[in-house]
Amino acid sequence: MKRKFMGWFLFLIIPFLIYYFYPETKLPENRVVDKLIVYKGKRQMEAYSGKELLKIYTVSLGKAPVGHKQYEGDNRTPEGTYHITERNPNSSYHKNLGVSYPNELDIENAKNLGKPPGGAIKIHGLPNRLGHIGKLHRWKDWTAGCIAVTDAEVDELYLAVTHNAVIEINP
């Protein structure tokens, strides 16, 4: 019985450890990212320099990822074309890049629902002091509507993404 348990334990723990510790491809150094494309259904974000694809990130989204963000508190990640207009090195989520949500149409749609549109949509790392979670954060959509990557990934994006870079967020 003990041997069988140990076999199952190793069968489960070894793939987990490989996943957690296996190094990921890094964004090429000294490259400028001027466009990001998010595919919510695939939980992927592509980083481009011009027409050249530099890297694909696996992301976590808002807790209710299906559909366009309608109003503050709906836990959806917006869909549409926005820009990266802010960067914050002192965020409560490691670092972040601010997305220009809401635009005029988003504000009007929320107003028609009698609700505020919300804001503060970011590409961010993990909550401060929880960076050790690393890639495991990807196992669940957990943000309030933001796009989450690991701390190492937000570090490289923070350096490479240009101000006013386009971000397309697709279903």
Q: Where are the domains of the chain?
A: 32-170
How far is 74 from 140, CA to CA, in rounded Å?
A: 17
Residue 156: pLDDT band by 50, 70, 90 thresholds?
very high
The more confident residue out of 158 and 20 is 158
CA distance 122 to 83: 11
Which DSSP string do the residues of 53-112 spell out, in sequence order? EEEEEE-B-BSS-SS---STTS-PPP-EEEEEEEEETT-SSSSEEEE----HHHHHHHHH
pLDDT at 7: 66
Mind telling me the catalytic residues?
124, 146
What local confidence, expressed as pLDDT, does residue 10 receive?
65
8 A C-beta contact, residue 38 and residue 80? no
Residue 20 pLDDT greater than 90, yes or no: no
Average pLDDT along the chain: 93
Q: Kind and range of the H or E element at 19?
A: helix 2-21
The pLDDT score that the predictor gives to residue 21 is 82
Q: Which pLDDT band, with edges at 50, 70 and 90, does 5 fall under?
A: low
Give tens-digit pLDDT for 89-147: 999 999 999 999 999 999 999 999 999 999 999 999 999 999 999 999 999 999 999 99
pLDDT over 70 at 42, yes or no: yes
Decide: 85 and 108 in contact? Cβ < 8 Å.
no
The pLDDT of residue 118 is 92
What top-level class would CATH report for the domain 32-170?
A: mainly beta
Within 8 A by CB and 6+ apart from 28, the residues are 54, 55
Q: Considering only CA atoms, which of 54, 58, 25 is closest in space to residue 39?
A: 58
The span from the CA of 145 to the CA of 92, in Å, is: 15
**Consecutive H or E run containing 161:** strand 161-170
